[in-house]
Amino acid sequence: MRVVLATRNAGKIEELRRILAGIEVVGLAGYPDAPEVAETELTFAGNALLKARAIAAHTGQAAVADDSGLCVDALNGMPGVFSARWAGRHGDDEANLKLLLAQLADVPAARRGAHFACAAAVAVPGGEGRVAMGRIDGRIIDAPRGTGGFGYDPIFVPDGESRTTAEMPPAEKDAISHRGRAFRALAKILPEVTG
């Protein structure tokens, strides 16, 4: 079996290869004209499916895509699908994190619950597509700690942990992360979709 992962990020391709052992995973390097898919849906699952379908249609291959973000209880589950553009500009991790901390400045520890969520989708050309979800629960702390990971990792501490996900070794984080969980769940349903 062969799937195209809707990314040009080598790290993400390696991660999926580890999780989907026995399945050939390629990125978009061989598809220079693949479309940039705007994440216009209001759910992680909607955006992941949107991307997987677009890449399946473009490549004629089974395609895998994901969308993920941070959901803060005190913000009704936001930033959510807006996680990467929370401060208004896409991909400015530092501004996003800083804004979130400022918004939560008066929110006491007992009300700083949050979770990371990931939707991993697979689609085949002309087919319906399937989505698997993964999440990791925890809380938002007052100030950043750690240099690993990306995005909101420096201010997120998983339940039962004292370290932020930015302070955990990558393999340890992968084992419990929303992305790891979603991709392992996806691996189980992949054969149903790709035949």
Is 66 tagged catalytic?
Answer: no
CA distances 41 to 20, 100, 183, Å, are 26, 22, 20
Separation CA 59–CA 28 (nearest Å): 9
* 108: contact with a second copy by CB under 8 A: yes
Cβ 182 vs Cβ 67: under 8 Å: no
Helix (H) / strand (E) element for 171: namely: helix 170-176
Position 143 contacts a second copy (CB under 8 A): no
Q: CA-CA distance, 185 to 192, in Å (whole number)? A: 12
Residue 77 within binding range of a second copy, rule CB under 8 A: yes
Using the contact rule CB under 8 A, the part of the chain among 11-19, 69-77, 151-159, 173-181 near a second copy is: 69-77
Size of the site for a second copy (CB under 8 A): 25
Residue 80 as a binder of a second copy (CB under 8 A): the answer is yes
Residues designated as active site: 67
Task: Enumerate binding residues for a second copy (CB under 8 A).
Answer: 38-40, 42, 74-78, 80, 82, 85-89, 98-99, 102-103, 105-108, 111
